[in-house]
Every structure is written in C-alpha cells, then in structure tokens.
A and B are shown apart, each in its own frame.
Chain A
C-alpha cells in the first residue's frame, strides 16, 4: 500500500490503521478524482486490513471498486464512521471469543477434577483392599482411565476364570484322569497366565505407574511384588517343595533355573536402580528455588519412558520361568505346581483380607 497523500498510524488497541489528519488531502483526492484507481484501492486496502485484523467477518466489507463512483461522492465522515463501527465490531468479537475460550478451559479443568474424584471414590468403595494414596495422582487423560478401567474389568474376569481352573485342577488330580486331559488343563493354566502378562503389557503402555503400584492386587500380594508382579526365584522357592519328588536331573535343572532367574532379577533390579538415579539426577539438575523447571521435568519424563521396558522385561522373565518349569516337569508335576501357585495366591489374598478386618489397638 503506497500512496503519497495519506498517513496511517497503528491504533494501540487493535493493530488496525487509522487515517490521521490528512483528511483534507484525502478529500481533495476524492474531489479531484485525478486518479480514481488510487482512491478506490485505498478503500479496498483499508477494508482488507480490517478484514485481516478482526476475528470474525460479520461486519460489512467496504464497497469494492465497482461501486467506486458512489463512494467517491459520499462525504468522508460516513466512511470514517463505517470504519469505526467495523473496528468496534471486531473488537467486541475478539472479546467474546476470549471469554468463550476461558469458559472452555475452566470446564476442562472441572472435568479433570471430576474424573479424579470419581477415581478416588471408586478406590474407596473397596474394589481393592487398602486402596493406595496414589489414587489422587492417577493419569487424567481419558485414554489412561479407560485403559485402566478395561484392565480392572479384565482382571476380575481373569480371577474368576483362574478360580474355576484351580477347582478343575484339584478334582482332576484327585480323580484319575488321562495324561492327555491333564496336559490340556496344564496348557490352559499356562496360557491363562500368559494372557495376564499380555493384559499387563497393554495397560503399562497407558499408565506404567499403575502396573508398578500393583493396585489391582491385594495388599499382601503387593508386599511381595517386584517390578509389578511376583519375583520368579521366590516363586520357585515356594512351589518346588510342593512338587516333590523330583528326579536328580530335575533337581539340577530347577537349581540352574533358579540361579539364572536370580541373576536376571539382579540385573533388572540394578538397571531399575540406575533408572532411578538417572531420573533423580535429571530432575535435580540446574539450580532449584527459582520456580522454573519445565526443561528438567520434560527431560526426566523422557528418561522415565524406560520404565515401561523394565516392566515388560520383568513380565517376560515371569513368563519364561513358567515356560521353563513346564519343560522340566512332568504333566502331573506341572499340574501340582499350578495348583500350588493358585492356592498360594489365595492364601495371600486371605491374609490381606484378614489383615484388613483384624481389630487393632487404637493409637
């Protein structure tokens, strides 16, 4: 936009341009119509500027050049007034939009709060014995909540199926069923655990802290937890005496398996410790006390992503341990092992229940 006779200054509030005291000269331009094209293009340019600066297009466009002749004959005041009205309309529109966005943000915050409260009250309704303090810090996005909700429902079904299978194993071992039928029961039992690991892997992607907390389990189960589940070598210690008698070869194989488990667990535990050190160091880097820490928190979060890998590795270790045991043992021994494992979990759950209901001395 380049015309010699008029100057525009930016208006403070809106960044639009207001013609200043060159009215006379502008008026002269119009009157002379020496170069009608310039005058028309000025009007169109100003109109375009207003169009670009305001949020809505609800105000009228100034007339295009085809109506130039009509405009050229109107007094300058009318154009001035029209411009002012447009500016005012644009300003009001922007303020309305700002208020609307503010309202949306507030509603969103309210929704997040409500979701958190809902989660807290579900915890307190005793879905788990001894619900965690972490309830208030659960993930707030819808995807996380639905991932966790799906897992919890799935786990309820899983436990029901587990109890059914335990009963079937018990009666199968007491009766004298065929090797083949027993094998089928053992395979189902193994697959059932593998299914749980798959479910855990899925929810770990949504919220790895949920898996680490073991919230879906009872308190005694959580007491023994190692990276989101049972420690394989501990389990071997508990179950092997239930599977006696073992052959010498089996004793050797189980011994080697236990040692390999322990070494693998040590490696993962130390890796976890390294992860904690790394996250802590990252989070604490730079000076603390000024209240600015967004980069540290962002970097720490990147490091924390590795936690998902560790949880998956721990479950992989559990799965491999079960798998190797099924190779070492006979069908009957494997059946007894699965039955013992099921009962051990029941005892842990009973312990949690007893503890929760046990009257204690008032403080």
Chain B
C-alpha cells in the first residue's frame, strides 16, 4: 500500500503540505479556527515526498499540496475546502475530529 493511502486510512483528518507553502499554512490556520488538529504531512521533509506527490496527482489533485483528506476520502485543495466551509458542509464532516466543543 503506498504511503499516501496508508496515511489517510490511519488518520481521520490529513493535510498534505510543504513547509514552504504559504497556502498550506493558510489551511492550517483555518483548521485551527474551526477547532481541529489535522495530521499534517510535510512532503518536502519526507524522502518519499516526490513519490507521494505523484500519488496525490494520480488520486485527482491538480496540485499535490495542499491536499485534504477527511475520513479517508479526498476533499480537495484550498478551493474545495473553502467552498465546503462557506456552504456549511465542512464543520459536520469535521465534527468527529473536533478536540474542543465549538
């Protein structure tokens, strides 16, 4: 099983990121604002990072980072997460993973 698949099946909320990516940082802030702590995986700090990027693109991501998975399913990148949040659909998905009652 490739590393991406393994990580998203073992963790309910996963954010694939790069430490230098400011848009990824913005999503980290958003998750903080809604009271969840995702499992963040920095691809630029993983020796298998390149392979994981390819795996993410194969799964349907236009850009490898940021990529958000909830409950093992790909939600998408910044666009999709923002749309989901504004439509009110993000919080219900995150409820199982919220650390503090919001």
- Given A260-B86, A271-B25, the answer on whether A266 and B33 have CB atoms closer than 8 Å is yes
Chain B interface mostly:
helix
Give the residues from 3 to 51 in chain B that come closer than 8 angstroms, CB to CB, to chain A.
Answer: 20-23, 25-27, 29-30, 33-34
Q: How far is the CB of A305 from chain B (nearest CB, A)?
A: 11
Q: Mark A250-284, 1 if CB is under 8 A from B, else 0.
A: 00010011001101101110111011001000000
Counting chain B residues whose Cβ lies within 8 A of the other chain, the interface size class is: 20 to 34
Contacts of B25 in A (CB 8 A): 270-271, 274
Inter-subunit contact A271/B26 (CB<8 Å): yes
Q: How far is the CB of B4 from chain A (nearest CB, A)?
A: 22
User: How many Cβ-Cβ contacts under 8 Å join chain A to chain B?
Assistant: 67
Inter-subunit contact B23/A317 (CB<8 Å): no
Inter-subunit contact A324/B86 (CB<8 Å): yes
Inter-subunit contact A264/B86 (CB<8 Å): yes
CB contact between B82 and one of A275, A306, A317 (< 8 Å): that residue:
A317
Inter-subunit contact A264/B22 (CB<8 Å): no
Q: How far is the CB of A218 from chain B (nearest CB, A)?
A: 28
Inter-subunit contact A316/B23 (CB<8 Å): no
Chain A interface mostly:
helix
Answer yes or no: B83 CB below 8 A from chain A CBs.
yes
- Given A264-B86, A324-B86, A324-B87, the answer on whether A310 and B23 have CB atoms closer than 8 Å is yes
Q: How far is the CB of B23 from chain A (nearest CB, A)?
A: 5
Inter-subunit contact A320/B21 (CB<8 Å): no
Answer yes or no: B79 CB below 8 A from chain A CBs.
yes
Q: Complex formed: what's the CA distance from A232 to B96 in Å?
A: 29
Inter-subunit contact A256/B82 (CB<8 Å): no
Answer yes or no: A213 CB below 8 A from chain B CBs.
no
Inter-subunit contact A267/B20 (CB<8 Å): no
Q: Complex formed: what's the CA distance from A316 to B20 in Å?
A: 23
Q: How far is the CB of A205 from chain B (nearest CB, A)?
A: 16
Answer yes or no: A6 CB below 8 A from chain B CBs.
no
Q: Complex formed: what's the CA distance from A309 to B23 in Å?
A: 8
Q: How far is the CB of B38 from chain A (nearest CB, A)?
A: 13
Contacts of B23 in A (CB 8 A): 271, 306, 309-310, 313
Answer yes or no: A321 CB below 8 A from chain B CBs.
yes
Which of B20, B21, B79, B86 has the largest number of chain A CB atoms within 10 A? Answer: B86
Give the residues from 302 to 340 in chain A that come closer than 8 angstroms, CB to CB, to chain B.
Answer: 303, 306, 309-310, 313, 316-317, 320-321, 324
Answer yes or no: B88 CB below 8 A from chain A CBs.
yes
Q: Complex formed: what's the CA distance from A310 to B21 in Å?
A: 11
Q: Complex formed: what's the CA distance from A303 to B82 in Å?
A: 23
Answer yes or no: B98 CB below 8 A from chain A CBs.
no
Contacts of B83 in A (CB 8 A): 316, 320
Q: Complex formed: what's the CA distance from A321 to B87 in Å?
A: 9
Q: Mark A129-148, 1 if CB is under 8 A from B, else 0.
A: 00000000000000000000
Contacts of B34 in A (CB 8 A): 263
Q: How far is the CB of B84 from chain A (nearest CB, A)?
A: 10
Inter-subunit contact B33/A267 (CB<8 Å): yes
CB contact between A263 and one of B21, B30, B79 (< 8 Å): that residue:
B30
Contacts of B20 in A (CB 8 A): 278, 303
Inter-subunit contact B87/A266 (CB<8 Å): no
Q: Mark B58-87, 1 if CB is under 8 A from A, else 0.
A: 000000000000000000001100110111
Q: How far is the CB of A116 from chain B (nearest CB, A)?
A: 31
Q: Complex formed: what's the CA distance from A326 to B36 in Å?
A: 29
Contacts of B21 in A (CB 8 A): 306
Nearest chain-A residue to B81 (Cβ)? A264
Q: Complex formed: what's the CA distance from A324 to B87 in Å?
A: 6
Closest 5 CB pairs of A and B: A271-B26, A267-B30, A275-B22, A267-B29, A263-B33
Given A263-B30, A267-B27, A313-B82, output 19 extra A-B contacts at Cβ < 8 Å.
A256-B88, A260-B86, A261-B86, A263-B33, A264-B86, A266-B29, A267-B29, A267-B30, A271-B22, A271-B23, A271-B25, A271-B29, A272-B22, A278-B20, A303-B20, A306-B22, A306-B23, A309-B23, A316-B82
B positions within 8 Å CB-CB of A = 20-23, 25-27, 29-30, 33-34, 78-79, 82-83, 85-88, 90
